[in-house]
Structure 1
């Protein structure tokens, strides 16, 4: 017994003590983000990643310019395969309308959000969103998208990977179209290892007309895709310009336009106007004042002066030359 106790004590003293951090959310730099906003969109402030047994989740914090409580963000969850040693599992379920209403009610407190019923689709497939405007004029949008191919299939040929995406965006200098452009322009950087976890499905085939005889392809007059500008700078410029104009005060009134002068003679005093005729007063022509009459006139030299001597009497006095003509 004593020998066993002594061996245990020696074993404990010989073991190196290590400190292991608990598995939990991890703060990453912006270049480690698995999802990025479009160019010109809100800037990335930070990335928080949570590693689960079957998923990798990230919350990408975005720049926020709004009085609505909360932070703008892009959330993404790559579900499928073995991702980490954490015992927690990410739920593998499809989009639920009731759960989504609770999500955007909590994400955008105090703003009445209305779900859009229009079918929309970006480069990754269909998506949906809800939008609203606060009493202070802040525009808010909460968008969601589930990327999953052949969800109704089964067996070995089924793609098991899935990507869940969420966007919360509020801004007091943007409209709904500008906020919606983030749903069209964001980019997924993360990928799955293994073909069976592919959430995007098989790549689409090319144009069937390519290489075929009798199938001419002409250049398109205009691109078919519409672009929604999303830029804080444009709204800032508009606001600063408006403020500058307000501080400077109203601009000087423009000169009154000169009305055309009637060329017809005025009716005699004895003639009475017809009942169905509309008499429009015509302002009298502007009189030439003494100041206007005394203004210097521009003298244009005669072609005869080109070859004449500088002190020639024909060219020395333009007034006499004009009188002579």
Structure 2
């Protein structure tokens, strides 16, 4: 009986080892196609190189790697974290913390993301279509301009309810370039688009939609089709004609001046004996120069005797 039981157990173990299937990936981090990115860059780039996705118990994170031409060590990346109801089969077992954007946390992120680059936090208030955000800028030793921006998209506490208005989105942008300025790099935060959402009625990090303006339908207030700050005269009308440029009066033409006579410097006087020119063929030979003839001096006659 004992032998039969042992054989039965052995057969079960062998059958269990024999039956199986292809191996399954147990890691919660994977690479997805660029078309499945949770956020899209603005028109004109930079383009998406790769997307690394990681799942948590309470969120899903994507690191969208962007093309770069900078010489600063590191990768240009747009990090998107969506906090909401995650499926159990996608969870990696870890929990991601949805914390407030404190000064200490941002300074730690700057040191970890851009080590060795002096970054300065901007005191200006900036805002895109999703709400307010902050940024810091600096220049690396290699001459690149770098921008680090952060944003937390969440409805105000007055709009958060028990069944609706739940969830949030965390945005981080690290962007360096050797040819663009700070303003051009910061334009990324105004042009990117979030392209994902949880299929749940309670997930709404954007809050309630904006209401109708109070001056709509009331007399005394102008409402332009191009926006409240741009009158139609500046947007719909053609641009003004260029103003004439003041031209200086023409001067009367003066008669052309007489051409200057070219004066040649006087030649220096010849130095040394004069050499006669060579004789011309068929002509008589030149007469020799007169020479001094030595003649005898004859004394005068004596005076007559008185």
- Give me the TM-score of the superposition, normalised by structure 2: 0.68
- Provide the C-alpha distance between the structure 1 equivalents of 2:218 and 2:109, rounded to a whole number of angstroms: 54
Tell me by how many angstroms 1:216 deviates. Answer: 6.4
**Contiguous gaps of at least 5 residues in structure 1:** 226-257, 264-283, 291-325
1:109 aligns with 2:115: yes
- Provide the C-alpha distance between the structure 1 equivalents of 2:228 and 2:177, rounded to a whole number of angstroms: 29
Aligned partner of 2:63 in structure 1 is: 59
Q: Could you give the per-residue CA deviations for residues 240-299 of structure 1, whole angstroms, max 9, x where no partner exists?
A: xxxxxxxxxxxxxxxxxx9976x8xxxxxxxxxxxxxxxxxxxx9572678xxxxxxxxx
1:17 aligns with 2:20: yes
**SS at structure 2 position matched to 1:95:** coil
**SS at structure 1 position matched to 2:187:** helix
Larger gyration radius, structure 1 or structure 2: 2
**SS at structure 2 position matched to 1:99:** helix
1:48 aligns with 2:48: no
Tell me by how many angstroms 1:111 deviates. Answer: 1.3
Contact 1:38–1:186 (8 Å) recurs in 2: yes
Q: Could you give the per-residue CA deviations for residues 203-246 of structure 1, whole angstroms, max 9, x where no partner exists?
A: 11133444x36366543678849xxxxxxxxxxxxxxxxxxxxx
Higher helix share: 1
Change (3 A) 1:154 1:219: closer
1:214 aligns with 2:215: no
Contact 1:150–1:158 (8 Å) recurs in 2: no
Total equivalences in the alignment: 236
**SS at structure 1 position matched to 2:188:** helix
1:137 aligns with 2:140: no
Aligned partner of 1:100 in structure 2 is: 106
Change (3 A) 1:21 1:259: same
Aligned partner of 2:72 in structure 1 is: 68
- Provide the C-alpha distance between the structure 1 equivalents of 2:151 and 2:183, rounded to a whole number of angstroms: 18
- Provide the C-alpha distance between the structure 1 equivalents of 2:174 and 2:155, rounded to a whole number of angstroms: 25
Q: Could you give the per-residue CA deviations for residues 298-318 of structure 1, whole angstroms, max 9, x where no partner exists?
A: xxxxxxxxxxxxxxxxxxxxx
- Provide the C-alpha distance between the structure 2 equivalents of 1:3 and 1:217, rounded to a whole number of angstroms: 95
Change (3 A) 1:133 1:259: farther
1:32 aligns with 2:1: no
Aligned partner of 1:287 in structure 2 is: 256
Change (3 A) 1:132 1:289: same
Change (3 A) 1:85 1:13: farther
**Contiguous gaps of at least 5 residues in structure 2:** 231-247, 260-306
Q: Could you give the per-residue CA deviations for residues 169-228 of structure 1, whole angstroms, max 9, x where no partner exists?
A: 000100000000001111100102223221111111133444x36366543678849xxx
Tell me by how many angstroms 1:45 deviates. Answer: 0.5
- Provide the C-alpha distance between the structure 1 equivalents of 2:99 and 2:191, rounded to a whole number of angstroms: 25
Contact 2:56–2:95 (8 Å) recurs in 1: yes
Tell me by how many angstroms 1:154 deviates. Answer: 6.9
Change (3 A) 1:35 1:286: farther
Q: Which of these residues, 189, 193, 199, is aligned with residue 193 of structure 1? A: 199
Contact 1:151–1:159 (8 Å) recurs in 2: no
Q: Which of these residues, 158, 174, 180, is aligned with residue 180 of structure 2? A: 174
